[in-house]
Amino acid sequence: MSKGLNISPLFVVFFCDIPMTLRCQRNELENQLQFDVMIRTQISLILGTGVLGLALMSSSSGVAEIQNANRTGEPGTSMTCNQCHGGGSWGATTNITVLDPNTGDEVTAYLPGEQYVLEVAIGGTSPRFGMQATAVDAMGGNAGSFANPSNNTQLEEVQGRHIFEHNSASTNNTFSVDWTAPAMGGDVTIYASGLAAGGSGSSGGDQYAGAVLTLPEAEIVIEIGGCTYDFACNYNPLASFDDGSCEVESCALPGDLNNDGAVTTSDLLAFLAVFGQTL
């Protein structure tokens, strides 16, 4: 007769409940992990949306104003607006012009310390426009100063660099400031980043176009008026233009036959030579 195990019912129940307890604990742990993942995902989405919203807001209000960023493309920074904006096809162009404030004419050279109008125009068929620009001297410093921005433009400073940029997603494609040229002279290079924007409120659907303009210091030429005829009494070899002041007869001396400005023996000999021929 074989002997069987004598196991109490209490032990059997306890022994059988162990796997179920472990399974319940495992299920509860898995549910908790899934809940944690869901919460973290939602938080990430919320934070990501906030960061994206900040980035989009910076594009429309000026990247220097919101992010303290220089996107002009000047040598101090390698970044431009196309770091974030793109995807549009508007035929974007950027043009830099320096104007004489008195005549409105374009200038191709500047006088140190003089005031001009610096204008950046963005071309394209887009509904909105934006830009950022700066002026740099030959040593890499700020070239002059900006003042009196147009209604769609604001003045900023990023790490010591003078900048002007759009203050909103503008329907006007022209941005301007008064520019006082540097007193020290030398070449000035103006860097500008332009955007033809789709106006969707996002960085997509925009097109970037940059421009660079180098403006030399004007050569100062002093014009001197005077008599430019060398046979005149008051001939001026330094005169750059004739002012009509030449005198030919007023300084002539009677008997100065050789026109050297004095009556000497040579004039007498010349007279005798002529007189002898007439006899």
Where are the domains positioned within the chain? Answer: 66-215, 221-279
State residue 52's pLDDT score. 37
Counting every residue written for the chain, the total comes to 279
Q: How many CA atoms lie within 13 A of 147 on its CB side?
A: 7
**pLDDT tens figures, 153-180:** 999 999 999 999 989 888 899 999 999 9
State residue 102's pLDDT score. 96
Highest mean pLDDT among 10-14, 134-138, 166-170, 253-257: 134-138
The answer on pLDDT for 150 being more than 70 is yes
Confidence of residue 67 (pLDDT cuts 50, 70, 90): confident
Is residue 236 within 8 A of residue 223, CB to CB? The reply is no
Q: Does domain 66-215 have CATH number 2.60.40.680?
A: yes
State residue 7's pLDDT score. 44
Select the more confidently predicted residue: 204 or 118. 118
Is residue 190 within 8 A of residue 122, CB to CB? The reply is no
Q: Are strands 241-242 and 225-226 parallel, antiparallel or unpaired?
A: parallel
How far is the C-alpha of 111 from the C-alpha of 232, rounded, in Å? Answer: 37
Nearest to 162 by CA among 96, 95, 76, 54: 76
The region of weakest confidence among 7-21, 222-236, 241-255 is 7-21
Average pLDDT over residues 215-241: 86
Select the more confidently predicted residue: 264 or 21. 264
Q: What is the mean pLDDT of the chain?
A: 77
